[in-house]
Each structure stands twice: as C-alpha cells, then as structure tokens.
Structure 1
Amino acid sequence: MNIDWSEAEWHKSTYSGGSGGECVEVAFAGGRVGVRDSKDPAGPNLVFAGADWDEFLGSKIWQR
C-alpha cells in the first residue's frame, strides 16, 4: 500500500517541547503511522503499522 504522506496532517511530538527545532512529527494515514524529522519534512520518514506503533508507545525501551 502506497500512502501519499504529503497529504497527511503532521503533528509535533509533545516530547519535543521548545527545544529549538529538534522535533519529531507523526501522521496517521491508511492504518499506518508516519514519523519524520520536522527539520526535513520533504525527507524520508519511518512508517509503522498501527499495532507496531501502539506496541512501541507501550514499551519502556523508548523511555530510556
């Protein structure tokens, strides 16, 4: 499945705070979650299945 991420509504992570540009953005489309660097919106993004994203958010690995 190809998703046109240029049409997606991207949201900055609440964990990015006001750190001066070091932001991660996420978008939801077609049952997938896209993750990109807000400093390079035209650059590559990571794409996760919805269930994989939920598992990632529930894990303790990313909180270290």
Structure 2
Amino acid sequence: MILFINNFCLYRNGDRIEKISIARPFVIKKLSTIPPPENEDKLFQLLDKFKDFPTFEFIIKSMFSQTFQ
C-alpha cells in the first residue's frame, strides 16, 4: 500500500493557521505517477513551527484536566 499525502495543515487551538500543498493531486490521480515535490521550503517552515508547539504530553494533560472539571 502506498500512501501519499499532498497537504499538510497546522492547527492551533482548533484553528487552522497554515496549510501547505506539496504536490498536485491531479498528477497522482489522473497521471498515476508520483508528482514532483513543491513548496519544500514552506513545508520545512511549517514543521519548524510545529516543533515550537507544546509537547504531546502537555496537550494530553490539558485535555484531561478540562474533561474532568
């Protein structure tokens, strides 16, 4: 099975703050081939922003504390 993700979205507090498309779906669907990568620089910037977010553990603790109040 091959999974190809062409869009990456970054959310903060439930709001989408950024969306990056790294390939064109047309190439995947209609031409049945692996498309050339696009927006690589923007993708790496998005990943850098993600690394600045609170850790997964912090997010889980926050969710549980709100759930059980």
Query: What is the TM-score normalised by the length of structure 2?
Result: 0.26
Larger Rg: 2
Structure (1/2) with the larger strand percentage: 1
Q: Which has the higher helix share?
A: 2
